[in-house]
Amino acid sequence: MGRLVVVSNRVADPRKPAAGGLAVALRDALLATGGLWFGWSGRIVEDGTPGEGEVRVQPAGSVSLATLDLCRADHDAHYAAYCNEILWPVFHYRLDLAEFGAAAAEGYRRVNQLFARKLLPLLRSDDVIWVHDYHLIPLAAELRAAGCAHRIGFFLHIPLPPPPLFAAIPENAWLTRALFAYDLVGFQSRADVGHFVGHAVAEAGATAFGECGLEAFGRRTQVRAFPIGIDVDEFQRLGKTPEAREAYETTRTEYARRKLLIGVERLDYSKGLPQRIRAFRELLTRYPENRHSATLIQIASPSRETVGAYASIREELERLCGSVNGDFGELDWMPVRYIHRTVARRRLSGLYRAACVGVVTPLRDGMNLVAKEFVASQSAADPGVLVLSRFAGAAEELVESLLVNPYDVHGTADTLQQALAMPLAERRARHEALLRRIREHDVHQWCTSFLQALDASSTPALKPRARAQRSPRPASRARPVRSSRPR
Ligand code: ADQ
């Protein structure tokens, strides 16, 4: 494979452990190929010109980090509006929260064009380009329009909704066409692949070829599921650090007479937090033996706080936690400990280990890495139980967890009770199977299998070059709908 070029909204120094999941995942491939990582710098130029931005390239060991500034208008239309107020809610099945608008779509396209224009001069002929996530769906199409013939792959970290929901985005035809500019399109789950194939067949008359190929708009692309994992060894090493041990021991001592349940996420409406607190209230109501005992530690880190929907979910969560504590709490027992903060990863692994039950109940999630971190942190001798939403991508893999429908508050409460009462032998058997699974499909395997598939994706355009992308709105006008199904 040639040099790996990663493009994502944000860039991190892969040598730094605090860089987080994606950086850890890509570190080996970037270091091995002396790769380039390209993305937004995080800086907003208040009075900058739309469609313009300065790029800075800096070395990080053998890897180069190239970052691009965005002007206020581009940031607001691309990131704040199109990504956060259209793609994020619709892709998480929340049409009701989407704020559609042509200006946002134009800004989204403008920033993708800017990315393409600034990236092109940095490319070498043997580069392999891997584009990440919903911020950059049209990037390959913009690169192709400028003559880029490199192998380009795309991975969507969030879910892809079923065709009728995707079709509600006014620019859905443009987005679908843009995905065909990639040689490989990766999704988190088989369900997401099915949604994309269904949409491409129904709306664009796509036809299938080979095992995972789709053909439309005069281009062929491979479409496959690559469920992302965690670095299990690294997470287990974190669990042995003094900070992790301290978090574990303090928590265990403080809650010696209690049974701990833990939830950890960004405070996002996709994570099912109000439903979880309602289910916990129901647990205390239906199974009173848990009073004075079961304690839910809910860590929800601040996220996109300027977006209205996030402010209201925060208010709702605080109100619900307050009412459970007011109605059930005692002087020596608070049923819910809600913490609106980011917790250091090392401490987090100690907290996961101290808990009897990991409560991971999103209403919709691409994968959900917290579920895998919880499993990796447990002691094999006395492991906790994972309660997992059937609507997380992880549910396709982690079938030995206790799967719940988070909308069903009573059912979730019953399952929490089952988890709290589970005998040791069953906990061990389930944990052993889950750990084996997350080891087999860890983040390194995810990265390697995507890059191998991209390398093997010899699916050249049927026409010499995909046609330049039209602007989002005109392209979204109906194409003839054909109902051919994939072979
Ligand atoms: P996220 O929506 O951010 O990611 P998730 O997969 O759960 O969701 O990853 C969150 C990460 O942040 C985990 O490593 C977790 O430990 C950490 N984290 C969350 N809250 C924290 C807190 N309060 N303090 C400290 N750390 C915290 C998106 C998609 C997911 C997909 C990932 C990776 O939405 O579905 O799994 O990308 O592809």
In a domain, 464, yes or no: no
User: Closest Cα to residue 324, out of 315, 316, 336?
Assistant: 336
Best probe residue, ligand 1, of 369, 372, 389, 398 (max atoms within 8 Å of C-beta) = 369
Domain presence at residue 476: no
Ligand 1 pocket, mutate which of 92, 131, 189, 265 (most atoms under 8 A from CB)? 265
Indicate whether 111 and 87 sit together in one domain. yes
- Return the residue whose CA atom lies nearest to atom 38 of ligand 1: 157
Q: What is the pLDDT of residue 120?
A: 98
DSSP 364: S
* Centre of ligand 1 from the C-alpha of residue 172, in Å: 27
In a domain, 134, yes or no: yes
| In a shared domain, residues 171 and 272 | no
228 C-beta closer than 6 A to ligand 1: yes
- Give me the average pLDDT of each 10-residue run along the chain (487 residues): 93 72 79 94 96 96 95 97 97 97 97 98 96 98 97 98 98 98 98 98 96 96 97 92 96 94 95 98 98 97 80 93 98 96 92 98 97 97 98 98 98 98 98 98 94 83 47 44 30
The one-letter code for the residue type at 364 is R
Helix, strand, coil abundance in the chain, percent, nearest 5: 45, 20, 35
Q: What is the pLDDT of residue 12?
A: 86
pLDDT at 1: 76
Ligand 1 atom at minimum distance from 370 CA: 7
| CB 250 near ligand 1, within 6 Å | no
CB 220 within 8 A of CB 457: no
Distance (angstroms) between ligand 1 centre and the Cα of 264 equals 8
CA of 301 from ligand 1 middle (Å) equals: 10
Which atom of ligand 1 is nearest the CA belonging to 348?
A: 25
448 in the same domain as 303: no
- Minimum-distance ligand 1 atom for the alpha carbon of 21: 14
Nearest-atom index, ligand 1, CA of 157: 38
Domain that holds residue 355: 232-439
With a 6 A CB cut-off, is 266 part of the ligand 1 pocket? Answer: yes
Element (H, E) at 443: helix 443-456
Residue 63 lies in a domain: yes
Same domain, residue pair 392 and 451: no
Dist. CA 456 → ligand 1 center (Å): 30
Going by alpha carbons, the residue nearest to atom 22 of ligand 1 is 342
What's residue 475's pLDDT? 40
- 72 in contact with ligand 1, CB cutoff 6 A: no
pLDDT of residue 348: 95
Q: Give the model's pLDDT for residue 477.
A: 36
Give the number of the atom of ligand 1 that is nearest the alpha carbon of residue 301: 23
Mind telling me the catalytic residues?
157, 365
Residue 29 is predicted with a pLDDT of 84
Q: Is 366 in the pocket of ligand 1 (CB under 6 A)?
A: yes
Q: Report d(CA 394, CA 355) in Å as an integer.
A: 20
Residue 483, pLDDT score:
30
397 Cβ below 6 A of ligand 1: no
Q: Is 373 in the pocket of ligand 1 (CB under 6 A)?
A: yes
The residue to which tokens 């909204």 are assigned: 9
Residue 469 included in any domain: no
Residue 21 Cα to ligand 1 middle (Å): 8
Phi first, then psi, for residue 297 (nearest 5°) are -95, 115
Residue 256 contacts by C-beta under 8 Å, 6 or more apart in sequence? none
Q: What is the DSSP string of 337-355?
A: EEE-S---HHHHHHHHHH-
Is residue 240 in a domain? yes
| In-domain check, residue 108 | yes
**Structure confidence at residue 466 (pLDDT):** 42
Same domain, 193 and 246: no
Pocket test for ligand 1, best of 266, 373, 386, 398 (most atoms within 8 A of CB): 266
165 and 308 assigned to the same domain: no
What is the phi/psi pair of residue 260, to 5°? -95, 135
Same domain, residue pair 83 and 136: yes
Shared-domain flag, residues 183 and 327: no
Contacts of 473 (CB under 8 A, 6+ apart): 102, 105, 170, 171
Q: What is the total count of domains within the chain?
A: 2
Pairwise CA distance, residues 81 & 105, whole Å: 8
Per-residue model confidence (pLDDT) at position 131: 98
Instruction: Return the best residue to mutate from 26, 230, 370, 391 for the ligand 1 pocket (most ligand atoms within 8 A of CB).
Output: 370
Alpha-carbon distance of 101 to 80, in angstroms, equals: 12
**What pLDDT score was predicted for residue 213?**
97
pLDDT at 485: 30
In this structure, the answer to whether residues 66 and 20 fall within a common structural domain is: yes
Residues 151 and 162 both lie in one domain: yes
Residue 243: CATH number of its domain? 3.40.50.2000
- Say if residue 209 is in the same domain as residue 327: no
**130 lies in some domain:** yes
- 365 in contact with ligand 1, CB cutoff 6 A: yes
Q: Are 450 and 387 part of one and the same domain? A: no
Its pTM stands at: 0.94
Q: What is the pLDDT of residue 17?
A: 61
DSSP 477: S
Which ligand 1 atom is nearest residue 393's CA? 35
